Amino acid sequence: MKSRLTFLLGGLALAAMPLALAQPGGLRLPKTLEAGSALSIQSSGRGPAVLYIVGHGQVLKRKVQLGETTLFSPGDLHSAGRYLAVLVGGPSTEKSEFDVTAAHHPGALSFLAKPSRLPVDLHDGISGVVYVFDAFQNLILATTPVSFQLSGAAGAMQTRTVLTHNGVAWTKMNSAAKEGTAQFVARAGDAMNTRVIQQVPGNPCRLRMSARPSGERLTLETEPVCDCRGNSMPDGTIVSFTETYDGSESTVDVPLKGGVARTDMPAYSGARISVATGVFIGNEIRWRKQR
C-alpha cells in the first residue's frame, strides 16, 4: 500500500509541474532498435542536460548538450526489452519509449535433450527442446528454423527442421534399433549444440539355459541373453536360477558375464530348474538322473 501511495503522490507532484515543462517533441529516436546496434538520439534546445535510458535490461546515463546528437556505440545497448529515454535539461523533461529487439542471428542455443539414457527401439522416446538466443543472450522471438539431427554408429540418421515459435522449437525422435551412443545435434544458423544419448538394450526377449552333470552337481549355463532386436544384455544383469525339489526351493542369482550366466546346483533326480531375469521367464528343465 505504501508503494502505491508513493506513486500516487509522486505522480501528483509531477502533474503539478507547469505544463510547458513536460511538452514533448524535442527527443528524436527510433521506436525500435536491434540489440547491439548503434543508437543516435537527437535533442533540441541549448545547454547541458542529462539523458537517462532505463529498462529492466539496462540502465544508461549520459551528460549531453541539448541540440546535439548523442551517440551510443554498437554494443552499448544490447539487452532486449522496452526502454524509457528521459532527457532532463534545465527546466524541461522530455521522454520517449522505445524497444530493443533481439538480433536476428542465432548466437547460442539452450538445448535440452531427454532422457540421456533409454532403451533401443522406442518410438518418440527422445525429446529435444531448443531456445534460440542471439549473441547478447536475448531470446530471438522472430521465427527461426532449427534443425535437429540424431545419429549414431547404428541406425539411420533422423533429421527434422522445426520453426521456432516465441523463441522455442521442439521435436521428438525414435531411439535406434541397435544399442550404442547417439549424437543429438541442434542447429540454428551458425549456432550448434550437441547432446549424447546412450541407447541401451531393451527388455530381454529370449532366455534359454542348458544343464550338464558334473559329479553330484549340475552346471547350468544360459545362451547369450538378448533383447528382441538381438542386442546383448549388459554384463551385470542378474539372472536367477531356481531349483525345486521335494517341496523345497532354492534360488541362485548370478550376474551376466560375457553375455551369459553360469552356476552350479545340486543334481537331484526329479528336480525342476527354471531361469528368469527381471520379469522375463526362460525355459524350464526337469532333471532325471541318467542310468
Partner 1 sequence: MNKPLLTVCSLFAAILAVCSDHPAVHVEPTDSVGPRALEKRTEAAVIRDYLQAWRSLSGAFEKNRADLLDPDFTGTAKEKLTATIKEQLKLGIRTRYLDGAHDLQLVFYSPEGLSIQLIDTVEYDMQILDHKTVVTTQHVRERYVVVLTPTEVRWKVRVFQGQPG
Q: Which residues bind partner 1 (CB under 8 A)?
A: 1, 3-8, 10-11, 13-14, 32, 50, 52, 54-61, 79-82, 84, 86, 88, 93, 95, 97, 99, 101-102, 112, 114-115, 127, 129, 131, 133, 137-139, 141, 165-168, 170, 172
Note whether 185 and 204 are within 8 A (CB).
no
Note whether 243 and 265 are within 8 A (CB).
yes
Which residue number, 132 or 271, has a Cβ lying nearer to partner 1? Answer: 132
Which residue number, 51 or 220, has a Cβ lying nearer to partner 1? Answer: 51
| Residue 39, phi then psi, degrees to nearest 5 | -135, 135
Angle at 235 between CA 248 and CA 257, to 5 degrees: 65
Question: C-beta of 41: minimal distance to partner 1 in Å?
Answer: 16
Which residue number, 77 or 239, has a Cβ lying nearer to partner 1? Answer: 77
Q: How far apart are CA 67 and CA 107, in angstroms?
A: 38
List CB contacts of 226: < 8 A, sequence separation 6 or more. 201, 204, 205, 206, 232, 233
Question: C-beta of 97: minimal distance to partner 1 in Å?
Answer: 7
Question: C-beta of 72: minimal distance to partner 1 in Å?
Answer: 14
Which residue number, 77 or 225, has a Cβ lying nearer to partner 1? Answer: 77
Question: C-beta of 26: minimal distance to partner 1 in Å?
Answer: 15
Note whether 69 and 26 are within 8 A (CB).
no
Note whether 176 and 229 are within 8 A (CB).
no
All 3 cell numbers of residue 197? Answer: 544419448
Which residue number, 95 or 262, has a Cβ lying nearer to partner 1? Answer: 95
Question: C-beta of 215: minimal distance to partner 1 in Å?
Answer: 56
